[in-house]
Amino acid sequence: MSTFAFGTYRVSDENLLHIEAMKEAIEAGVRLIETSSHYTDGGAQRAIARVMALFEDDIRDEIEIVNSSVYIQNDTQNISEYIEEEIKKSLKNLQLNSIETFLIECDDELISDAFTALEKEIQKENIKSYGICNKKSFDIANYMQEAQKAAKRVGNEKHGFTTVELAINLLEREGLQYAALAKKSGLRVLSCRALDAQKDGLMYRLAEYDEPKDYYHTLNELLDICDNEQLKPLYNLIEQMDSNKHKFGFIGEYDSFLLAQILPHIKKTIEKIPQEVLDVLLEYIERFLRAYRDMVAYETAKMTKVSLKEYFQGCDAKMQECALGFLLEIDDIESIIVGMRKPSYVQEIMALRS
């Protein structure tokens, strides 16, 4: 049976809830953490460093850090220098001398140069192994050959290519064939996007949430405060948001809309508000936005369960339990990377192991 790994996408070292969730996950038995220097501009890696400092050496030695999603493009002029700088950046953020596994994403024609650069980093003891992630198709046999050539090229006794990371979930099962091939070749398989799935060009969050009990209270509070001529534009925005709370395809769509449309509109609306009034108003706005996101998550989950009902037939649990249960039964997957930014998520997910 697969095990769960702690994914740090959108994790920040400035969020104490994230820190507590990672600490609780380690205490619950998680021994693999997936991260990247690009997650929250290095904040995810700095969060790992903060949490690791809370544990004794024997526990820290058991934790494997997998650094993911370094994208090498065709116009990357010096692949070796690029990889070297990315590794240095990650080591600094993580406060480590070496990273267990370093994953890259690149086109097949760049594999030879990339693997050679990674073999050099193994020589320098900056990393212990490497792998491939975020590809639609995997030429496992070719990668094994290129790894052997790269090791020989730099003088390493054996290659360090050990891992592939695949997007496999209840909807996207194409990666299962590559997982089987990878395992037969002696490679380790990690699955990502366990709960964020694509189907027919649409994104779905395979999780459901309780309806937030405080939503309408916080909505009405804010509307009452904004019911005047000066804040009429904000009042209209909040009313419009409430009317459209069920129209988002999945929660990630709302998050993008929040950054691109809602927050700029709010900022423009309140820029002339006196500071003594603004401080109080911002508290109500922040409280409403938290409750609104919870409501959007609740509404989108209801639609998702109806749209994808054929995938959940025979499973009466929550969508996330069905989706993760599906992955737990796949022998070719060693670890399932899941975002667990709240202690409650850690508890819910880790309970599925039993």
pLDDT in tens, 42-63: 999 999 999 999 999 999 999 9
**pLDDT interval class at 93 (50, 70, 90):** very high
Model pLDDT, residue 1? 55
Model pLDDT, residue 276? 83
Model pLDDT, residue 72? 84
Model pLDDT, residue 248? 93
Model pLDDT, residue 224? 96
Tell me the average pLDDT of the chain: 94
For range 193-221, the mean pLDDT: 94
Residue labelled with tokens 């024997």: 58
For range 5-34, the mean pLDDT: 96
Model pLDDT, residue 305? 93
**pLDDT higher than threshold 80 for residue 177:** yes
For range 173-195, the mean pLDDT: 95
Model pLDDT, residue 354? 63
**pLDDT interval class at 160 (50, 70, 90):** very high
Name the CATH code of domain 3-205+314-353 (choices 3.20.20.20, 3.40.50.300, 3.20.20.100, 3.40.47.40).
Answer: 3.20.20.100
For range 230-239, the mean pLDDT: 94
For range 178-201, the mean pLDDT: 95
CB-facing half-sphere around the CA of 290: CA atoms within 13 A = 10
**pLDDT interval class at 152 (50, 70, 90):** very high
Model pLDDT, residue 250? 87
For range 302-325, the mean pLDDT: 94
For range 278-284, the mean pLDDT: 93
8 A C-beta contact, residue 22 and residue 48: yes
For range 330-351, the mean pLDDT: 94
Model pLDDT, residue 292? 97
